[in-house]
A = this chain, B = another copy of it.
């Protein structure tokens, strides 16, 4: 037992990256790799890699390095990719439909079982095998179906209302694209994707020299 100590967010956020790099190594026929080599490829120190993986048990062998396939599967298992998840999506506009229809998610075990919207033009459509229902039917759907993750792809001003309906439904995770900071019960986990913030960060970066020049002249 590791007791109650949880793994830091920084480590957790690096796990998908390890998984991605190891997948690339497998695609390139590489069977084993030292933590040094992996560190050069990923731009993370070898000791950081060892520390990260030590959170989840013992993975390397002194002088041998890592068995790529085995480590890939172990990290996949840590990430919960050896099981499948049921997802619903609320806000089935163009963006929501594109997300729910993205075939890679289903391949990884993320299965969209229902979409919800309030637009009568969209209700009744089928996206990636899942039907779009009237959002008014969401409470009833949640009573009758097990759902692991709810994806919120609706405008900020209605997202909190949707989150309120999801609260206490048994759903553990919210993947939030709405751009607002949701208030949810502490038992629920919210992962935010802030596309606008990301684009604004990029705008800043491409103008940084000129911006710093300007603000310091004022």
Contact = CB atoms under 8 A, between A and B. Distances in A.
Interface of A: 1-2, 6-7, 12-13, 15-17, 19-20, 56-57, 78-81, 85, 93-95, 97-99, 101-102, 104-105, 108, 110, 148-149, 172-173, 175, 179, 189, 191, 193-208, 211-213, 215-218
Nearest to A179: B20
A37 to B, nearest CB: 16
A199 B215 contact: no
A-B pairs, 8 with minimum CB distance: A16-B197, A94-B98, A191-B202, A172-B206, A95-B98, A80-B203, A16-B200, A98-B98
A93 B93 CA distance: 15
Contact of A20 (B57, B80, B101, B197): B197
A8 to B, nearest CB: 11
A175 B202 contact: yes
A201 B16 contact: yes
B216 A189 contact: no
Contact of A80 (B12, B97, B204): B204
Contacts of A95: 95, 98-99, 102
A197 to B, nearest CB: 4
A17 B217 CA distance: 25
A191 B212 contact: no
A81 B216 contact: no
B104 A197 contact: no
A15 B204 contact: yes
A147 B94 CA distance: 25
A196 B200 CA distance: 21
A193 B200 CA distance: 13
14 contacts: A1-B217, A16-B194, A16-B200, A20-B197, A81-B200, A85-B203, A93-B98, A94-B97, A95-B99, A110-B199, A149-B203, A191-B202, A193-B195, A193-B198
